[in-house]
Amino acid sequence: MGNWKRSLITEFIRIGLLLAIAFLITGLIISFTGENPFTVFKILVTTAFGSRAGLAETLAAATPLIFTGLAIAVAFKAGLFNVGVEGSLYLGAFGAAWVGFTWLHLPGWMLVFLAILVAGIAGGLWALGPGIVKVRYNVDEIVTTLMLNYVAIYLTTYLVTYIYGVPGLANAMSFPIASAARLPRLAPPSQLNLGFVFALIASFTLWFVFRRTAFGYEVRMLGSNPLCVKWSGMPDKKIAVKAMFLSGFLGGIAGAVQILGIHYRFIANFSPGYGYTGIAVALLARNNPLGVLFSALLLGAIYNGESLIELMTAIPMEVPRIFEGIIIALTSAELVVQLWVWRRKAKTQESKR
Amino acid sequence: MNVEELIGVTLRQAAPLMLVAYGGLFSYHVGVINIAMEAEMLAGAFAGLTITAWTGNLLLGLLGAVISAMLIGATFALLTEGLKAHLVTSALGLNTLTIALTRLLMWVVTGSRGAFVPQSLPILPRLQIPIFKAVPVLQAFSGHSILVYGAWLAWVFTTLWLYHTPLGLRIRAVGENPEAARAIGLSIQRIRVVAQLLCAILCGLGGAQLSLGDLRLFTSGMTAGKGFIALAAIYFGRGRPVFTTLACLLFGFFDGLQSRLQLWINVPPQLAQMIPFLTVVAVLVFVSWRDVRKGARA
Q: Which residues of A touch B285 (CB under 8 A)?
A: 133, 137, 139, 144
Mean predicted lDDT score pLDDT of chain A? 86
End-to-end CA distance of chain A: 30
Contact A147 B225 (CB under 8 A): yes
Percent residues over pLDDT 70 in chain B: 96
Query: Model confidence at B60, in pLDDT bands (50, 70, 90)?
Result: very high
Put simply, the chain B residues between 109 and 138 with a CB less than 8 A from any chain A CB are 113
User: How far is residue B298's CA from residue B292's CA, in Å, rounded to a whole number?
Assistant: 10
Cα of B133 to nearest chain A Cα, Å: 39
Q: Which residues of B touch A319 (CB under 8 A)?
A: 100, 104
Instruction: For residue B36, give the amino acid letter.
Output: A
**A347 has pLDDT over 70:** no
Residue, of A306 and A240, whose pLDDT is higher = A240
* Buried/exposed A172-203: b ≥16 CB within 10 Å, e otherwise: bbbbbbbebbbbebbbeebbbbbbbebbeebb
Any A CB within 8 A of B189 CB = no
Q: Which residues of A touch B108 (CB under 8 A)?
A: 32-33
Mean predicted lDDT score pLDDT of chain B? 85
The 10s digit of each residue's pLDDT in B88-124 is 888 989 998 999 899 888 888 887 777 888 877 777 7
Put simply, the chain B residues between 20 and 49 with a CB less than 8 A from any chain A CB are 33, 35
**A130 has pLDDT over 80:** yes
Is pTM, for the whole model, over 0.80? yes
Q: Which residues of B touch A147 (CB under 8 A)?
A: 225, 228, 232, 277-278, 280-281
Give, in degrees to the nearest 5, the angle at Cα A152 between A144 and A112: 125
Contact A133 B273 (CB under 8 A): no
Cα of A114 to nearest chain B Cα, Å: 28
Contact B93 A140 (CB under 8 A): no
The 10s digit of each residue's pLDDT in A211-231 is 899 888 888 888 888 888 888
> Phi first, then psi: what are they for B198, rounded to 5°?
-60, -45
Is residue A345 within 8 A of residue B93, CB to CB? The reply is: no
Q: Which residues contact A237 (CB under 8 A, 6 or more apart)?
A: A135, A136
Cα of A107 to nearest chain B Cα, Å: 35
Q: Return the top range by mean pLDDT from A30-39, A288-297, B107-116.
A: A288-297
Any A CB within 8 A of B174 CB = no
User: How far is residue A321's CA from residue B95's CA, in Å, rounded to a whole number?
Assistant: 10
Of the candidates B183, B195, B244, B256, the residue with the CA atom closest to the CA atom of residue B1: B256
Instruction: For residue A79, give the amino acid letter.
Output: G
Contact A321 B100 (CB under 8 A): yes
Q: Which residues of A touch B273 (CB under 8 A)?
A: 150, 154
Put simply, the chain A residues between 263 and 282 with a CB less than 8 A from any chain B CB are 273, 276, 279-280
The 10s digit of each residue's pLDDT in A65-81 is 999 999 999 999 999 98
Put simply, the chain A residues between 318 and 347 with a CB less than 8 A from any chain B CB are 318-319, 321-322, 324-335
